[in-house]
Copies of this chain bind each other. A is one copy, B any other.
Amino acid sequence: MAVVYDRVALIGLGLIAGSMSLAMREAGLAREVVGYARSAETRDTAREIGLVDRVTGTAAEAAEGADLVVLAVPVGAMGAVAAEIAPVLKRGATVTDVGSVKRAVVEAVAPHIPEGVHFIPGHPLAGTEHSGPRSGFASLFRNRWWLLTPVEGSDPEAVARLAGLIRAMGANVEEMDAAHHDLVLAVTSHTPHLIAYTMVGVADHLKRVTESEVIKYSAAGFRDFTRIAASDPTMWRDVFLQNKDAVLDILGRFTEELFVLQRAIRMGDGQHLHDYFTRTRAIRRGIIEAGQDTSAPDFGRSQVSGKDA
């Protein structure tokens, strides 16, 4: 495949950035991939395993002269990184990010982007429960969605080029408004994650059921909630703080709905429960028909076996 960007700079060297590097190199999409991570340990590991072509000592050093800069740090750190690299950004370069929320990233990053540099926020709907520089693999994005939320006045050519890179890594690209992105993700990802975290917390505090029993019988449903609860705490803290409005909105609706079902249980209203459980089948059917289901449910995370895929 043809080179899309001469030099790509990855700021942050975790699962997403690492997988991007491997995917880009596998397909020959960049002449050089440089990377930086705040942690010296991560930089050492990246050097040791040859995750990128070159590991730099600062974010600015990585970004300088790059044609594409990818901000792959927790959402709460995006603003500071943008401020640091802004002075060295090349005219005509594109800056994107891979954060799970978009409005907050636009607010934090856009003000730092100099004239003549394209800022195109993005969000790959891909991940695993693993994190760190050793967790990446080239096929992570294959057949996954990668949402782009171009800002007012984004250069269509720069957007098309970035979309081309993403498609060449195997993902499907869709564009939408940042606010809409945040609401869609609050429904399909953020709130489900918070709920799963909560359920794990409940089990952890319960004294009458021992932890060993919770673990032993976890395959009855609970186990899949714990998979989520192993996700990176910093990333998820930032997601909830930065997508506060949409998450609180969906949580409010969730609680209302839960109370209605809880009341039906308390009152012994079997008809209500049966009708509700029957209605929810339609969405499931839609997902199967849309080809978005696999035999390996994974909370949006590729299986570890994906490494071998």
User: Which residues in A have some Cβ–Cβ distance to B below 8 Å?
Assistant: 76, 125, 144-145, 147, 174, 180, 183-185, 187-195, 197-206, 208-209, 211-231, 233-234, 236-238, 240-241, 244, 247-248, 250-251, 253-255, 257-258, 261-262, 265-266, 268, 270, 273-274, 276-287, 290, 292-293, 295-300, 303-305
List residues of chain B with CB within 8 A of the CB of A225. 192
13 A-B pairs (CB sep. < 8 Å)? A184-B209, A184-B213, A185-B220, A188-B217, A191-B199, A194-B265, A195-B258, A198-B257, A203-B283, A206-B250, A229-B277, A230-B281, A236-B277
Q: Is the interface of A mostly helix, strand, loop or mixed?
A: helix
> Do the beta carbons of B193 and A284 come within 8 Å of each other?
no
> Do the beta carbons of B299 and A221 come within 8 Å of each other?
yes
Closest to A224 in B: B297
> Do the beta carbons of B228 and A221 come within 8 Å of each other?
yes
Copy number of this protein in the oligomer? Answer: 2
> Do the beta carbons of B277 and A265 come within 8 Å of each other?
no
Supposing A204-B280, A204-B283, A233-B274 touch, asked if A295 and B299 sit within 8 A by C-beta, the answer is no
Q: Would you list the 4 A-B pairs with minimal beta carbon distance, nearest first?
A: A233-B277, A189-B220, A229-B280, A230-B284
> Do the beta carbons of B199 and A192 come within 8 Å of each other?
yes
Chain B nearest Cβ from A304, distance in angstroms: 6
In the docked arrangement, what's the CA distance between A274 and B231, Å? 11
Chain B nearest Cβ from A145, distance in angstroms: 6
> Do the beta carbons of B300 and A219 come within 8 Å of each other?
yes
In the docked arrangement, what's the CA distance between A185 and B222, Å? 9
Closest to A297 in B: B224
List residues of chain B with CB within 8 A of the CB of A296. 295-297, 303
In the docked arrangement, what's the CA distance between A212 and B145, Å? 14
Selected from B283, B293, B304, the residue in CB contact (under 8 A) with A229 is B283
